């Protein structure tokens, strides 16, 4: 057990300090090439409350590709420990390598693929012209389609290569899905990705996602899936390094290159640890934030444009009723830690 804890903790700490080391160089690059949104969201909204809380100057002068720091640091950390086991073979280096076919290969490539597609989206927002550069609804549909395509491929791998045909029901055994595991994974990935709207306040997404991936590191460890635990720990460490510079006032935003890669990877890890039905508990801040947008849309459609919230997503509603951004962010962090702990306990005792 001790060597397993070392295998998790050393890459996690390494990734954190690597993220801190790389961030100043990345920040210089982001500002040099003015990698921030070209068009303000004020152009696409008529909500008075949104105008009151929205700082247009910050949005148009703060880089939106900070997620690059996360996935590049995860990539480098993973490759360093992998290559060490190849070029300096020993019991220690081979044990410390956490890139394995049956546990972490899929989440590793999921993170890279999702992040690269997200980066493409960010670059359209930064350098593009026309309606797509304004995050037009049609472009959002294309993003959802891309998430579906990635999720289909991952679900197919689960079914065909890993023989994953059932999911664990907490306190209730297993439920057989067969090939339906593929569309079920697509639904979970879409739902998790929709929670990416949480990236709306300085420090909010980083703190919430660090708590969630930290929880899955512990859940994986309890399942004796040490490679997944190490990989989740690495993501946690790097996200905390990102948060170091993202706390108010943010040096950069996570952007789609962070959100898309992390949320799809989160869904993948939830399936690999057979705890997908615990995911809504561990990731409750994502659930309620995404749910607030859905509730608002349905209310406006079926109740003559009447709103349930002053603004959706939920964190902006709290701002609109007078909470400071600091208060909203800190309370989200507190709730994230609480529900991460609750999710860990449920995942462990429900086996």
- Total domains in the fold of the chain: 1
Q: Which residues lie below 8 Å from residue 110, measured CB to CB, with a gap of 6+? A: 150, 154, 261, 264, 265, 268
Considering only CA atoms, which of 318, 260, 325 is closest in space to residue 289? Answer: 318
Answer whether residue 119 shows pLDDT above 90. yes
In-domain check, residue 270: yes
- When pLDDT is averaged across residues 208-214 and rounded to a whole number, the result is 97
Range of the domain at 212: 2-279
In-domain check, residue 229: yes
In-domain check, residue 308: no
- Predicted confidence (pLDDT) per residue in 302-311, tens digit: 888 888 888 8
What is residue 132's predicted lDDT score, i.e. its pLDDT? Answer: 60
In-domain check, residue 272: yes
In-domain check, residue 343: no
In-domain check, residue 267: yes
pTM over 0.75: yes
How confident is residue 130, by pLDDT bands cut at 50, 70 and 90?
A: low
What is residue 201's predicted lDDT score, i.e. its pLDDT? Answer: 85
In-domain check, residue 29: yes
Bridge partners for 167 per DSSP = 175
- Predicted confidence (pLDDT) per residue in 154-193, tens digit: 999 999 989 999 999 998 889 999 999 999 999 999 999 9
In-domain check, residue 74: yes
């Amino acid at each position: 057990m001790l060597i397993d804890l070392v295998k998790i903790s050393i890459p996690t700490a390494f990734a954190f300090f690597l993220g801190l080391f790389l961030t100043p160089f990345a920040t210089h690059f982001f500002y040099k090439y003015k990698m921030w949104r070209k068009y303000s969201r004020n152009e696409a909204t008529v909500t008075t409350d949104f105008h009151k809380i929205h700082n247009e100057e910050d949005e148009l002068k703060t880089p939106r590709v900070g997620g690059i720091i996360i996935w590049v640091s995860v990539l480098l950390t993973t490759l360093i420990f992998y290559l060490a086991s190849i070029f300096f073979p020993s019991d220690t280096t081979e044990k410390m390598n956490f890139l394995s076919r049956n546990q972490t290969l899929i989440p590793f490539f999921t993170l890279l693929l999702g992040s690269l597609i997200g980066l493409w989206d960010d670059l359209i927002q930064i350098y593009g012209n026309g309606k797509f550069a304004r995050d037009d609804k049609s472009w959002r549909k294309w993003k959802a389609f891309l998430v579906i395509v990635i999720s289909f491929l991952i679900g197919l791998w689960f079914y065909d290569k890993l023989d994953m045909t059932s999911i664990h029901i907490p306190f209730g055994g297993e439920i057989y899905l067969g090939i339906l595991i593929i569309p079920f994974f697509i639904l979970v990935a879409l739902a998790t990705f929709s929670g990416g709207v949480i990236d709306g306040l300085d420090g909010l997404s980083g703190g919430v996602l660090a708590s969630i991936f930290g929880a899955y590191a512990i859940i994986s460890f309890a399942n004796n899936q040490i490679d997944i635990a190490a990989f989740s720990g690495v993501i946690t460490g790097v996200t905390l390094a990102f948060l170091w510079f993202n706390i108010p006032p943010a040096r950069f935003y996570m952007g789609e290159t962070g959100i898309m890669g992390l949320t799809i990877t989160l869904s993948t890890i939830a399936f690999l640890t057979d705890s997908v039905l615990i995911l809504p508990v561990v990731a409750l801040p994502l659930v309620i934030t995404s749910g607030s947008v859905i509730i608002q849309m349905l209310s406006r459609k079926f109740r003559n444009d009447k709103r349930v919230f002053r603004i959706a997503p939920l964190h902006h509603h709290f701002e609109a009723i007078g909470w400071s951004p600091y208060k909203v962010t800190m309370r989200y962090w507190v709730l994230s830690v609480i529900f991460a702990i609750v999710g860990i306990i449920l995942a462990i005792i429900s086996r």
